[in-house]
Structures are given as C-alpha cells and as structure tokens.
C-alpha cells in the first residue's frame, strides 16, 4: 500500500462533500505529472490525505481510500465541463481519474504546522514551489502525521 495527498479547494469539493457522498470520482486533474501518478502508481486500497488548498487555512482535513483505479476522466469528454479537453477522445483519452471512498474527517492539520515541523522537512508538500495536486507521501510521513497531529 502507498500513501498520497490529494489537494482540493473546499468551495469546489470539500471533505464534508466526500463524507456526505461516501464515494466520489476524483476528476479534473489537468497536470501531466499528477495524471501519471493517478494512472501509473495510485493503487486499489491506497490511503489518501485530503488537503484543502486555496482557502483561509490550508491543510490536511481527512482521509480517503482508493476504491477504483485509473480510468478515463469522464469530464474530459463533456463539452459543458470546465475540465473539457477537445483533444481527448474515447479512443485516446488524455486524463485519468480514480474513485475515492470517505474514511475519516480530521481536525485540520494546518500547512503552517507541517512546514514548521522539522520531521517533515523533506515532505513533498512543504517543499518550496510544491503545487502538484496529487503527491506521494512516504510511510514514515503518514505515520508521523497521524501519530503527532490527530
């Protein structure tokens, strides 16, 4: 099993939305490196930190589990979607989705706390310029965060 951090904007889709729906397609990823993680590495049963970004207090807010792996993102084919991609076809899709299942809502673990923690100084999330919406989390980082902050 691997661990991940998936970013979302809470006004678009929050941990509360995932909790209410119980499971949801994680769509709209339009970065090739993030897409490659979804397509090539995210596996069934992997656990994911849900991270709220672009908000007053960004941070880790919950946990989800991958229950369906790498399939073509349906939003790339929907001309009404803001994630529509005219170059994508059903024969040659460009973007990938997974389905997540809600596991737990956490008290927010603020980015400022994570950045200040010397134990996490090599975590992808706290690196200067880190903006990727799908990020790997090491086993040690996952365990440390849960044991220290939740």
pLDDT at 140: 98
Question: Which parts of 27-150 are beta strand (E)?
Answer: 47-52, 59-72, 96-110, 134-137
pLDDT at 150: 82
pLDDT at 75: 97
Q: Could you report the average pLDDT of every consecutive run of 10 residues in the chain (150 residues)?
A: 97 97 97 97 98 96 98 97 95 97 98 97 93 96 96
Alpha-carbon distance 108 to 18, whole Å?
15
∠ CA(34), CA(36), CA(42), 5° rounding?
Answer: 85
Alpha-carbon distance 7 to 60, whole Å?
9
- 21 φ, ψ (degrees, to nearest 5): -80, -20
Residue for token digits 């709220």? 52
pLDDT at 107: 96
- Please tell me whether the overall predicted TM-score, pTM, comes out greater than 0.85 for this model: yes
């Amino acid at each position: 099993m691997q661990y991940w951090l998936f970013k979302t904007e809470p006004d678009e889709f929050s941990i509360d939305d995932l909790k209410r729906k119980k499971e949801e397609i994680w769509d709209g990823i339009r970065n090739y490196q993030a897409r490659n993680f979804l397509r090539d590495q995210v596996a069934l049963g992997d656990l994911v930190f849900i991270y709220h970004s672009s908000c007053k207090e960004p941070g880790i807010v919950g946990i989800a589990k991958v229950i369906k792996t790498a399939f073509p993102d349906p939003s790339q084919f929907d001309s009404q979607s803001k994630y529509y991609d005219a170059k994508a076809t059903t024969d040659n899709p460009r973007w990938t989705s997974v389905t997540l299942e809600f596991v737990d809502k956490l008290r927010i673990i603020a980015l400022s706390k994570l950045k200040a923690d010397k134990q996490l100084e090599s975590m992808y999330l706290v690196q200067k310029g880190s903006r990727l919406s799908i990020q790997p989390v090491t086993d040690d980082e996952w365990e440390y965060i849960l044991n220290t902050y939740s």
